[in-house]
Amino acid sequence: MIVAGTRPEAIKLAPVIWSLEKLGVDYVFVWSGQHYDYEMSRVFFNQLGLPDPDLDLDVRSGSHAEQTARIMIGVEKAIIDYKPSIVVAQGDTNTTLASALASVKSLTPFAHVEAGLRSWDRTMPEEVNRVVADSIAELNFAPTWLAAVNLMHSGVPLKKIYVTGNTIVDVVYKYKDLVVEWGEKLLGEYKLEPGNYALVTIHRQENTDNQWRLENIVKALIELSKHIPVVFPAHPRTTRRLEAVGLLESLKKNVKLLSPLGYFEFLGLLSKSAIVLTDSGGVQEEACILGIPTLTLRYNTERPETVLAGSNILVGVEPEKVVPIALDMIKRRSEIAKKKGCGNLIGDGTAGEKISKILNKFKDDATIETRDTREDPYIVHVLIDTSENMEDLSVKGEIIAMYDDHGFPTIDINSARKIVIRVAKHCLLTK
Ligand code: UD1
Ligand code: UDP
């Protein structure tokens, strides 16, 4: 059972659905309805060739608890009705959290796509959602080595971690040529020149619901618009907040404020832009894959690979920083475009295929972890040296973490010198 419910989940689960179709695996597609406007949901089904959902829970908006609870109730009922062997969700939304909880509580194993990302900021609802989903999943599909190590250090046994790449790479590789035409059409419509406009997306709770941050972002965009046209397809949450705090009109006078765009329109516009200013996770990744300079208007990112690749700078929201750094990045646009290193860092375009193959293999004997500890209820974590004979231990224990010669975490057993295993104490004593 594939559960999705927001714009990025439709986009990032598309490659998994395409591959499940190819493999001929039976699946049920549940849409939570957390996003429900046409341009936040159905447009993606149409453009990305997703099937109509078998079930639309139509939960819509609400407080975190209300929305999460409604999704849990809906997913639990769907699990009872469809009896899936495994529930799959992606990312860090309330739909992801609710699916994970409903799934495991119904004794159905949960698989988490894009597991192990960390901003290390527990004030973000997304961080809380990720941490919970990862920790109760039986299968964690980590997009990168770093994400896998984050999981490992959260105590997720290595056998539950697969490094697959991020499915967004599959999507961008598939459509990057096709969307050029869509981009050009929009450029004509809005009278923009390729390589000579800034694209903006803002929607994170920490930016929209914090008046100081929102005001600073608006100031920065208005200031930037004196140097370069600024195009801003705004998330409905952001438009509402801008209106509520009386910033909408001044922004509209200076910036091309648009409704949310379809995927082909957005990716087309992104691929021709001089720079993107964003707080979106997916947009940081897409811009990195396309080699577009990115300013992330946040104070942390769960996508550090995009910073490492050289396309993304974490700038915060103060206009005195945002504007000069944006102008400098625009100047260095062709140098940044040449780096184009992110594809390799965050995936190779085959994540959907890898994930669906693992799901297909796992689904026949999918179970949730359980343990009979009658013999020895005292479970401990032990650090062992690989030079010791660890055979007896590894039979009964599971690998929780591995470190190389330098003490760095590794997920490669061949370079592991120290290994932490979870094991019953009895087993140690008998050794
Ligand atoms: C959610 C995710 C966020 C993700 C984003 C993707 C959570 C906690 N947050 O944030 O991680 O990055 O989706 O876009 O799950 N609204 C509409 N029409 C819609 C959908 C939303 O008008 O179709 C408005 C409503 O006023 C709603 C607000 O947007 O209250 C927020 O929507 P919600 O789904 O709660 O969170 P997002 O900000 O979209
Ligand atoms: N996107 C889109 N239209 C828009 C803005 C974004 O199709 O007007 C796409 C974008 O290409 C990316 C995804 O939406 O793939 C990102 O979603 P969002 O920023 O809402 O969520 P996040 O990735 O931060 O969770």
pLDDT in tens, 397-406: 889 999 999 9
Ligand 1 atom nearest the C-alpha of 36 is: 23
Q: Write the pLDDT tens digit of every residue in 204-262.
A: 999 999 999 999 999 999 999 999 999 999 999 999 999 999 999 999 999 999 999 99
* Residues 37 and 16 reside in one and the same domain: yes
Domain tally for the chain? 3
Over 80: is that where the pLDDT of 390 sits?
A: no
Residue 367, domain member (yes or no): no
Residue spans of alpha helices (H) in 120-256: 125-136, 145-153, 167-175, 178-189, 205-208, 211-224, 236-244, 248-254
Domain boundary among 362, 397, 414: 362
Return mean pLDDT, the chain.
95
The residue whose C-alpha atom lies closest to atom 35 belonging to ligand 1 is: 61
| Tens-place pLDDT, residues 297-323 | 999 999 999 999 999 999 999 999 999
- Same domain, yes or no, for 83 and 209? no
Question: In this model, does residue 377 exceed pLDDT 90?
Answer: no
- Shared-domain flag, residues 140 and 217: no
Q: Which one, of 156, 136, 113, lies nearest residue 411 by Cα?
A: 156
Q: Which ligand is nearest to the CA of 237?
A: 1
Q: Domain span at residue 282?
A: 176-338
Let me know whether 147 and 287 are in one domain: no
Distance of CA 205 to the CA centre of its chain: 16
Pocket of ligand 1 (CB under 6 A): 6-8, 34-37, 40, 61, 67, 92-94, 125-126, 203, 235-237, 240
| Same domain, residue pair 145 and 260 | no
pLDDT of 115-165, one tens digit each? 999 999 999 999 999 999 999 999 999 999 999 999 999 999 999 999 999
Query: How confident is the model at residue 394, as a pLDDT?
Result: 53
Pair (213, 153) in one structural domain: no
Q: Does residue 343 lie in a domain region?
A: no
Measured by CA distance, the residue closest to atom 2 of ligand 2 is: 263
Same structural domain for residues 45 and 158?
Answer: yes
Pocket test residue of 37, 266, 269 for ligand 2, highest count of atoms within 8 A of CB: 266
In the predicted structure, residue 388 carries a pLDDT above the cut 80: no
The pair of structure tokens assigned to 362 is 């796992």
Instruction: State in Å: Cα 283 to ligand 2 middle.
Output: 6
C-alpha distance from residue 62 to each of 9, 65, 66, 77, 130 (Å): 19, 8, 6, 20, 20
Q: Where residue 276 sits, what CATH number does that domain have?
A: 3.40.50.2000
Are 236 and 295 members of one domain? yes
* Residue 370 lies inside a defined structural domain of this protein: no
The string over 132-147, giving b where at least 16 C-beta atoms fall within 10 Å of a residue's C-beta and e elsewhere, is bbbbbbbbbbbbbbbb
Q: Which two tokens stand for residue 41?
A: 């949901």
Q: Does 102 share its domain with 160?
A: yes
Residues 297 and 356 in one domain: no
Q: How far is the CA of 369 from the centre of ligand 2 (A)?
A: 35
Q: Which residues line ligand 2 (CB under 6 A)?
A: 7-8, 11, 201, 203, 233, 260-261, 263, 266-267, 280-283, 286
The answer to the question of residue 369 being in a domain is no
Radius of gyration, alpha carbons of the chain: 23
pLDDT at 364: 86
Give the model confidence (pLDDT) of 349-359 as tens digits. Answer: 999 999 999 99
189 shares its domain with 137? no
Strand order in the sheet with 256-258: 256-258, 230-233, 198-201, 275-278, 294-296, 312-314
Residue 372: inside a domain: no
172-186, 252-266, 375-389, 407-421: segment of lowest average pLDDT: 375-389
Domain limit, last residue, from 312, 328, 362: 362
Is 17 inside any structural domain?
Answer: yes
Q: For residues 369-379, give the mean pLDDT.
A: 88
In a domain, 171, yes or no: no
Ligand 1 centre and the CA of 76: distance in Å?
22
Whether residue 241 is contained in a domain is answered as yes
Report pLDDT digits (tens) over 78-119: 999 999 999 999 999 999 999 999 999 999 999 999 999 999
Higher pLDDT, 388 or 217: 217
Does one domain contain both 332 and 356? no
Percent of the chain whose pLDDT exceeds 70: 97
